[in-house]
Amino acid sequence: MAKSKIAEPTDAQLAIAASTPSHQLAGAHGERDAASQHRALRSLLLSISDSEPIQTRRPPRAPAAIPLADDRRRLERDLHDGVQNELVALIVTLALAQEDPKTPPPLVETLAGLEARAQAVLDSVRNIARGIYPPLLADFGLAKALRVQAARAAVDVGLIGSAPRGTAAAEDAVYFACSEAIQNAAKHAGRGTRVALRLHYDPGSLAVRVANDGRGFDPAHTPRGAGLQNIPDRIEDLGGTFKLASRPGHGTAVIISLPWPAPADHRR
* Distance in angstroms (rounded) separating the CA atoms of residues 260 and 171: 9
Q: Of the residues 83, 106, 133, which one is the last residue of a structural domain? A: 133
Mean per-residue pLDDT for 221-242?
82
Question: For residues 63 and 136, which has the higher predicted lDDT (pLDDT)?
Answer: 136
Predicted confidence at residue 79, as pLDDT, reads 66
- For residue 202, being part of any structural domain is answered with yes
Q: Do 127 and 145 reside in the same domain of the chain? A: no
Q: State which residues form the domain around 223.
A: 137-260
Q: Do 92 and 30 reside in the same domain of the chain? A: yes
Separation of CA 246 from chain center: 29
Q: Do 142 and 119 reside in the same domain of the chain? A: no
Residue-wise burial string across 7-24, b where 16 or more C-beta atoms lie within 10 A, e elsewhere: bebeeebeebbbeeebee
* Distance in angstroms (rounded) separating the CA atoms of residues 209 and 228: 15
Number of Cβ within a 10 Å radius of residue 28: 14
Percentage above 90 pLDDT, the chain? 39
Question: For residues 173 and 125, which has the higher predicted lDDT (pLDDT)?
Answer: 173
- For residue 70, being part of any structural domain is answered with yes
- For residue 6, being part of any structural domain is answered with no
Question: For residues 235 and 25, which has the higher predicted lDDT (pLDDT)?
Answer: 235
Q: Of the residues 67, 102, 133, which one is the last residue of a structural domain? A: 133
Q: In the sheet where 204-212 sits, what is the strand order?
A: 156-161, 194-202, 204-212, 252-260, 241-246
* Distance in angstroms (rounded) separating the CA atoms of residues 122 and 87: 6
Q: Give the pLDDT confidence of 63-104 residue by residue, as tens digits.
A: 443 455 566 666 766 666 667 778 888 998 999 999 999 999
Q: Give the pLDDT confidence of 156-196 residue by residue, as tens digits.
A: 999 999 999 999 889 989 998 998 899 889 888 888 899 99
Q: Of the residues 71, 100, 133, which one is the last residue of a structural domain? A: 133
